[in-house]
Structure 1
Amino acid sequence: MATILVVDDEMGIRELLSEILSDEGHVVELAENALQAREYRAAGTPDLVLLDIWMPDTDGVTLLKEWSAQGQLTMPVIMMSGHATIDTAVEATKIGALNFLEKPIALQKLLSAVEQGLARGIERPRSSSATTAAPATVPSAEPGSSDIVPETTAEAAPNGSPARVPEAEMQFSFDMPLREARDLFERAYFEYHLLREHGSMTRVAEKTGLERTHLYRKLKQLGVELGRNKPEPAEQ
């Protein structure tokens, strides 16, 4: 699980990125302008920053220059913009930006860029206010594959499946109406895979063969609460 700072003056984009990255198991901090981003950086160092270029108070490139000049550019920064030119992207890269994403940002490009940024494993000093906290780490086995419930794993059977199946599956009955039985089965099915993949929406989408957008809609329709699929210990 990593801490990601999203800096963007558009509320809709902040909320969308927050939802996507939170579902991947990351802690997301939000800043709507350069001032808030400065304050957050002064208090601590995020593992990754998603930084919009065009903002009303101070643009992202200028903020990037400030961090670089002050020795605060010790974390990967990915620039975002819907109107930037190639020259702007090149300039940001020369200053120290890791990557550049053009809006509207494709989901897979976003996740791939975040994975690459976190996988860099940049060693960086923590500010005095953050030295007592344990630094966020990036999973070493599969970069970018994050757990929504960190430091807690499900008891697994020998084949790698959770030893305890979702409770909804136990309530299934052939005497139920077809629609009700189907919904109950689908809920148990998705809860099972969320447990097995420790909440990673990317891997659940791959396992179930669904597009992420379709998967989100299906889980919402079934009433499956994301981020709360904390595995229960297996019965002895």
Structure 2
Amino acid sequence: MATILVVDDELGIRALLSEILSDEGHSVEVAESAAKARILREQCKPDLVLLDIWMPDVDGVTLLKEWSASGQLTMPVIMMSGHGTIDTAVEATKFGAQSFLEKPITMQKLLRAVEQGLTKPAPRAATPAPQVHLATVTPITAASSYAGINNVVSPVRSELVGGDAHHHTSPVAYSAVQTAPALNGHVPSGPSHEQSFELDRPLREARDDFERAYFEFHLAREGGSMTRVAEKTGLERTHLYRKLKQLGVDLGRSKKAAVN
């Protein structure tokens, strides 16, 4: 079985995860701080690391960045947190984390994440992200029922997909760029809107608007079914609900739009 390093400043969490993973036949090492984690990473060469975000000396994301920058991120890393945000999870993913577990962690979620982490290839060392010049993209001013979205996204998509963008891009944003060509021709099953994206503003605001439109489209097309939207977008339902709440998507309005 695998050698797994558990990094968490809480003794109870370390003991619980160690017990569960040991019962599954894994060899488990534990560290209560980033300093101890650095030592154990060199000594035991773990096959996978479970890394807490909030720790007293150095936070988990900073340690992840350090390993990535120094070429030491040769093993899958699963981030853990009881107070994490979507932005934190996205940042961790950008620097090589393979998944994110929200505390309290159930045994089923833990074992599934570990199994998936051990079957995935080791993360690549950080490389410069492809240069996408959004300032040169023409805003969508009258994309009736999203039909014109592909005219704007296609040039960006070709550059993103041609590089290693999936290692540097928010999973939701990358999925949206991948899905954009499929939006054309499927408008009859959803509502009609004029969608405008203003690009002369902070990235986070522009990204939120794009993701909001992306999810509203899928909600309308799937008749408001969260199960089908989760399948289409590749998100777990709990993460999908949290994302929609963060974006301020009105689920009731989306269902009415689908009916009309």
Q: TM-score, normalised by structure 2?
A: 0.46
Amino acid corresponding to residue 43 of structure 1 in structure 2:
Q
Report the alpha carbon displacement of residue 123 of structure 1 after superposing the two structures with TM.
9.1
Give the Å deviation of 1:42: 2.4
- The equivalent residue for 2:110 is 110
Q: Secondary structure at the match of 2:25?
A: coil
Once residues 44 and 67 of structure 2 are traced to their aligned partners in structure 1, the CA distance between those partners, rounded to angstroms, is: 13
Query: Is the CA contact 2:73–2:123 (under 8 Å) kept in the aligned structure 1?
Result: no
Report the AA paired with residue 63 of structure 1.
Answer: L
Uncovered stretches (5+) of structure 1, i.e. residues with no partner = 125-236
1:81 aligns with 2:81: yes
Aligned to 1:78, the other structure's residue is in SS state strand
More helix by share: 2
1:6 equivalent to 2:28? Answer no
> 1:104, 1:77 → 2: CA distance?
18
Task: Return the letter of the residue paired with 2:115.
Answer: E
Shift of 1:119: 1.1
Please state how far the C-alpha of 1:57 moved relative to its aligned partner.
0.2
Matched, 1:60 2:60: yes
The amino acid across from 1:54 in the alignment is: W
Query: Secondary structure at 2:78's aligned position in 1?
Result: strand
Q: Measure, in 2, the Cα distance between the counterparts of 1:2 and 1:51.
A: 16
- Please give the secondary structure, in 1, of the residue aligned with 2:28: strand
Give % identity: 78
The CA deviation at 1:80 is 0.1
Equivalent position amino acid for 2:41 in 1:
R
Between the two proteins, the alignment pairs up a number of residues equal to: 124
Mean Cα displacement is larger for which, 7-16 or 113-122?
113-122
Counterpart amino acid of residue 58 in structure 1? V
Q: 3-state DSSP class of the match of 2:73?
A: coil
- Segments of 4+ in structure 1 off by > 3 A? 121-124
Task: Summarize the alignment of residues 29-68 of structure 1 with structure 2, pairs less than 5 Å apart.
Answer: 29-68=29-68
CA distance in 2, matches of 1:48, 1:69: 18
Q: Distance in 2 between matches of 1:123 and 1:10?
A: 27
Q: CA deviation at 1:107?
A: 1.3
- Whole-Å separation in 2 of the counterparts to 1:117 and 1:85: 21
Partner of residue 228, structure 1:
none
Distance 1:2 1:121 in 2: 14
Q: Report the more deviating stretch, 57-66 or 39-48.
A: 39-48
Q: For each residue in 1:127-178, what CA deviation from the matched residue of structure 2 results, as whole angstroms up to 9, or x when unmatched?
A: xxxxxxxxxxxxxxxxxxxxxxxxxxxxxxxxxxxxxxxxxxxxxxxxxxxx
Amino acid at match of 2:111: L
How far apart are 1:44 and its partner, in Å? 4.0
* Cα distance between partner residues in 2 of 1:25 and 1:40: 19
Q: Give distance in 1, aligned partners of 2:47 and 2:55.
A: 22
> What's the CA shift for 1:120?
1.6
Alignment RMSD: 1.4
SS at 2:97's partner residue?
A: coil
Q: Secondary structure at the residue paired with 2:87?
A: helix
Structure 2 partner of 1:69: 69
Partner Cα separation in structure 1 for residue 114 and residue 26 of structure 2: 11
The AA in structure 1 aligned to 2:95 is: I
